[in-house]
Structure 1
Amino acid sequence: MHHPSNSKPLYKPPPQIPQRPQQHHRLPPTSTTSNPSVLTSGPQNPRLNELFDLIQNEFEATGQDGAMWRAQRDEYEQKMQVQINELGLIRQSLYELESQHQRVREHYEAEIARLKRELEARGGSAAAIAGPGSPSRLGESDRPSYPRPELPGSLAGGGPPPLNGESGRSPYPPPAGAGAVSTDRRERPHPTSPPSLLSDLDPENVSRELKKEGSDWFAVWSSQSKKQLDVSLVHTLSHETVVCCVKFSHDGKYLATGCNRTAQIYDVKDGRKVSVLLDETNNRAGDLYIRSICFSPDGKYLATGAEDRQIRIWDIKQKRIRHLLQGHMQEIYSLDFSRDGRFLVSGSGDKSARVWDIEKGQCVVDLRIEDFIHNEHGPIDAGITSVALSPDGKLVAAGSLDTMVRVWNVQTGQQVERLKGHKDSVYSVAFSPDGKTLVSGSLDRTLRVWDLTQTKRAVENAPPGSKDVDKGLGVCQSTLNGHKDYVLSVAVSPDGQWVVSGSKDRSIQFWSVASGQAQFMLQGHKNSVISIDLAKTGNHLASGSGDCMARIWKYEPLDGGR
């Protein structure tokens, strides 16, 4: 029997085990994945909470930095766009100032012309009113300039430039050497001796056999050579602005003209306008004259070169731009397609000619002028005004502002000729059909016929890949004198017998290649004849003028003329 007071208890509690400090307590390995709440709550994870707070703070700071950088980027882009817009406004202002300056200058020249006519009518000397630094001959002040070389009279102001202040007046040329323009043929002085130039002839004093008159045009033939050609006016095509360029299609059925912003295509047979090409995506304000134009040989495409330094290749049927060729740094002044239609040659005021692959829409050859002519002021500007591709496609000829005619080998890109002889800027070049001769027209009022037979032979006989070709083989075969002002455009007839020229004196002249003599002079335009072209199919001549007219003429041999 047990006594409660003397018995030991049946349960003895285990001895007290001291707890480890909490910072040494380790969680089971599965706690971080099986129970995420353990990481974010409870007094046992303050270190982890601290680390997550740091990460969160860094993330927020990084987000704020990113937002700040994005804001700065948007601000810089906005500033760049503002500067681009400002540059556009500055450029437009320069164009407008240039146009305004040109109009003021033309008005000043017109006023000088009027005062000279009044003074001469009273028996005074026209030179008396020429101010300091004024040109001795009226019209010299509208000489083309550069870096934006312009056709005489300038196209910058729009509308027909008042060349010599005579726009809208008589189509007859001024008296030789006087510089003044007579509005009445009765006021023209009669020469005391037979004139040596066709441009000096007064149609009223020419025998009936040597002249032909239309309603607003006339032609006079030289008495010093046999009369071999007849000429007549076929169509007069009115335009809204100056006609800068004219070009026949290769089959002779169509004529393209270029003026301000638009290119027109006419049916040669009936004179009907069949198409108008306008780049409506171009938002440039002010004038945008098309300075050069050319059909592809198959007649499917029309290339146009403009003041905005771009070449547009038009799909004529669809009236849309197939290619936009960019790369020139100055205005495009001349274009010429290769015979196979694969390549296009362009000439620009940036002193370069380029050969473009039409299918790829890319420049494949860049021909640059590097042999600059120098005077006491330094190098003379050599902006290219005209280019021509030889019939066999092997040579490119270019006339430039520095008086030179240069010829390149297309395959090697090497310059093979530099033809020297003109006394002023060369404004037009054209190959003969056989490619053996080249004709150039200059602001020195002359044409020159260059023999390139030796040059062609040297290029053809050069070893493949050779860049060393003898230069200086081209020679001046003849110099054609007869125009009284700048020669702006030249062409060669399909049979190679005739050279045709258009001039600032408003005349068109036909020259015999064999004799170097003028056959006849054609007068009809009331302003400069800026551009001419002869149809490759023969017998048709086109002319474009500052009087906002393009004209189609027909010339044909007389019986026994050949």
Structure 2
Amino acid sequence: MSYQQQRPPLNLDQRLNELLDAIKQEFDQVKNEAFRLHKDESEGKYNKQVAELRDIRNTVYNLQQTHERIKRQYEEDISRLKAELEQRDRQSSQLQYHNQQNAAAQTQQSPTQLPPPQTPQLQQQQPPNQLQTTQNGAQASNNQPNQLQTNQQITQAPNSADSQQSISDKPIPTFLKELDAQLVPEQWKKQTHEFYVLYNPALPKTLDVDLVHSFDHNSVVCCVRFSRDGKYLATGCNKSAQIYGVESGQLVARLTDDGNFLNGTNGAPSNAANPEANSGDLYIRAVTFSPDGKYLATGAEDKLIRIWDLSSRSVIQYLKGHEQDIYSLDYFPDGTKLVSGSGDKSVRIWDLNTSQTSLTLAIEDGVTTVAVSPDSSLIAAGSLDRIVRVWNASSGFLVDRLDGAELNNGHKDSVYSVQFTHDGKEITSGSLDTTVKLWALDTNKNGATNKANVKCEVTYRGHKDFVLSVCSTPDNEYILSGSKDRGVIFWDKNSGDPLFMLQGHRNSVISVCVSNNGIGGNGYFATGSGDCKARIWKYKRDFNQ
């Protein structure tokens, strides 16, 4: 009897456990439902914010495009009004000239003995900066005193609107028109079996050039770049990048990505995702060393940027985002970011800590060349639409368009090369219009430019075909340009005069670069050519004539 009395409590415990299990299950269901609802709500907010950011970005881009259209219209109106004012000035000057002649006829019996006054048309054709060049030329040749006197009279006349134009009306010197070493006197040339140099006979010879090393490649050499310390030279060609010792001329490394690329390792897509890997050709169109010299960035036709660790000769990063060939790369001076230019009409700034794009700058046409200013504050890019654009590197705002619209002295064809001078105050640009230009930048601490002082200072004329690459020496004394005419010209930066033409390749000079360790007018420069050669040259002050 006592045993039967104890059974009900056991049933109560079982029932209690069942109720607790039911409560637990219901709690789990409520918790899961709440988590799902919270997750859906969070994802909805996130998607909404992403959409809002995308709209803001599109709005900013549209505003930028509208701003550029308004600016172009404004510049066109300014140019038209300036032309009208100049026409009125010419008419007024002509009227004044006729009045002077009439007055002279009334007061003199022999008016033909009076010298004609200088007309404003001649004043406009001769800017003040050209006086010094004309004087130097007269001293060198010492046979045109009358022309010198005329030029002095012209520059003493009142300034006109055209006095702010660049040195752009100089004719191509005679010694650059034929480029035939056999027709040049011995004292104005240097000739070897590998190259020849033609000097400007109107100027004293101050530089000598010698070939240091020549490197054969298996294809066209698309690009050359020195390391910051000047000890190494990198070249890019089909399927590989090479690194050479500048002093020894020895091949230090040949970088090919066949293994990593085929296996799809290190973040690289496999062949299935990149049919370019099997297409045969893969030209390396851009190379650049990191500031510390430990890494090399390469850009190629497969739309990828590779970051190579030079100690292990392996790819440690793949930067993916461009939609067409990558044509140009440049490291920021601190080595934490990289800028790239592509045929997909965009410039990208990459954060190398995350391998992600931190800023994308879109334009209207393909980007052929990019450069970072020495203080990291500005980015310059040249494109197929003939314009050099300058952006604030932090905000991405367009600082200026170097198109010479106000004075009609911009490039007339696609810009293929840009570089900041080493002091960061100027930009050099080379174009398919066969010219090189020097642009002055007057920027404040916030990266904004003084519009009145952004102008084309000098136009360098002398090449007979496309200018494909430009650079400047570390002392900012000389500009170098490489061209499809197979030549490299050394220019005096300030006057725009060509010092000499180097003919050292049998095909286009696609890339030219100066080493940063040049001192006192002595240094190295390198060239890459369509003749499948890269060459290192040495320039030095030598002649005392």
* TM-score calculated relative to the size of structure 2: 0.62
Q: Which residue number corresponds to residue 189 of structure 2? A: 211
Distance 1:256 1:507 in 2: 21
The code of the aligned residue for 1:457 comes to N
Distance 2:179 2:283 in 1: 35
Q: Which residue number corresponds to residue 537 of structure 1? A: 517
Q: State whether residues 195 and 201 of structure 1, in contact with CA within 8 Å, keep that contact through their aligned partners in structure 2.
A: no
1:186-233 deviation line (CA, Å, top 9, x unaligned): xxxxxxxx9625252421122222111122210111012221111000
Identify which of 376, 391, 407 aligns with 1:393. Answer: 376
Q: Which residue number corresponds to residue 436 of structure 2? A: 447
**3-state SS of the aligned residue for 2:444?**
helix
1:264-283 alignment, distance < 5 Å: 264-280=242-258, 281-282=260-261, 283=271
The code of the aligned residue for 2:341 comes to G
Q: Which residue number corresponds to residue 499 of structure 1? A: 479
1:129-140 alignment, distance < 5 Å: none
Gap runs ≥5 in structure 2 = 1-10, 12-171, 262-270, 272-276, 404-409
**3-state SS of the aligned residue for 2:293?**
coil
**3-state SS of the aligned residue for 2:321?**
coil
Q: Which residue number corresponds to residue 524 of structure 1? A: 504
The code of the aligned residue for 2:503 comes to Q
Q: State whether residues 416 and 470 of structure 1, in contact with CA within 8 Å, keep that contact through their aligned partners in structure 2.
A: no
The code of the aligned residue for 1:501 comes to S
Q: State whether residues 508 and 522 of structure 1, in contact with CA within 8 Å, keep that contact through their aligned partners in structure 2.
A: yes
Q: State whether residues 382 and 388 of structure 2, in contact with CA within 8 Å, keep that contact through their aligned partners in structure 1.
A: yes
1:476-533 deviation line (CA, Å, top 9, x unaligned): 0011110000000000100000000000010011000121100110001111100110
Distance 2:398 2:323 in 1: 21
What is the aligned residue count?
350
Q: Which residue number corresponds to residue 90 of structure 1? A: none
> Which stretches of structure 1, 4 residues or more, deviate above 4 A after TM superposition?
469-473
Q: State whether residues 458 and 495 of structure 2, in contact with CA within 8 Å, keep that contact through their aligned partners in structure 1.
A: no
The structure with the largest alpha-carbon Rg is: 1
Structure 1 position 560, deviation (Å): 5.7
**Residue 223, structure 1, aligned to residue 201, structure 2:** yes
The alpha-carbon distance between structure 1 residues 514 and 195, as it changes in their structure 2 partners (threshold 3 A), is closer
1:66-86 deviation line (CA, Å, top 9, x unaligned): xxxxxxxxxxxxxxxxxxxxx
Distance 1:422 1:273 in 2: 39
Distance 2:216 2:177 in 1: 26
Q: State whether residues 346 and 353 of structure 1, in contact with CA within 8 Å, keep that contact through their aligned partners in structure 2.
A: yes
The alpha-carbon distance between structure 1 residues 201 and 528, as it changes in their structure 2 partners (threshold 3 A), is closer
The code of the aligned residue for 1:558 comes to D
Distance 2:539 2:464 in 1: 23
Structure 1 position 276, deviation (Å): 0.7
Q: Which residue number corresponds to residue 423 of structure 2? A: 434
Identify which of 289, 292, 295 aligns with 1:295. Answer: 289
Q: State whether residues 486 and 504 of structure 1, in contact with CA within 8 Å, keep that contact through their aligned partners in structure 2.
A: yes
Structure 1 position 555, deviation (Å): 0.4
Q: State whether residues 349 and 360 of structure 2, in contact with CA within 8 Å, keep that contact through their aligned partners in structure 1.
A: yes
Structure 1 position 359, deviation (Å): 2.3
Q: State whether residues 198 and 221 of structure 1, in contact with CA within 8 Å, keep that contact through their aligned partners in structure 2.
A: no
Identify which of 347, 354, 365 aligns with 1:360. Answer: 354
Distance 1:243 1:417 in 2: 33
1:452-475 deviation line (CA, Å, top 9, x unaligned): 1x2x22744x6xxxxxx7657520
Q: Which residue number corresponds to residue 174 of structure 2? A: 196
Q: Which residue number corresponds to residue 325 of structure 1? A: 319
The code of the aligned residue for 2:215 comes to L
Q: Which residue number corresponds to residue 163 of structure 1? A: none
**3-state SS of the aligned residue for 1:209?**
helix
Distance 1:416 1:472 in 2: 13
1:116-515 alignment, distance < 5 Å: 196-280=174-258, 281-282=260-261, 283=271, 284-285=277-278, 286-369=280-363, 372=364, 382-420=365-403, 421-452=410-441, 454=442, 456-457=443-444, 459-460=446-447, 473-515=453-495
Distance 1:199 1:346 in 2: 36
The code of the aligned residue for 1:485 comes to D
Gap runs ≥5 in structure 1 = 1-29, 31-193, 373-381, 463-468
Distance 2:207 2:446 in 1: 37
Superposition RMSD in Å: 1.9
Q: State whether residues 173 and 462 of structure 2, in contact with CA within 8 Å, keep that contact through their aligned partners in structure 1.
A: no
Distance 2:334 2:215 in 1: 30
Query: What percent identity do the matched residue pairs reach?
Result: 53
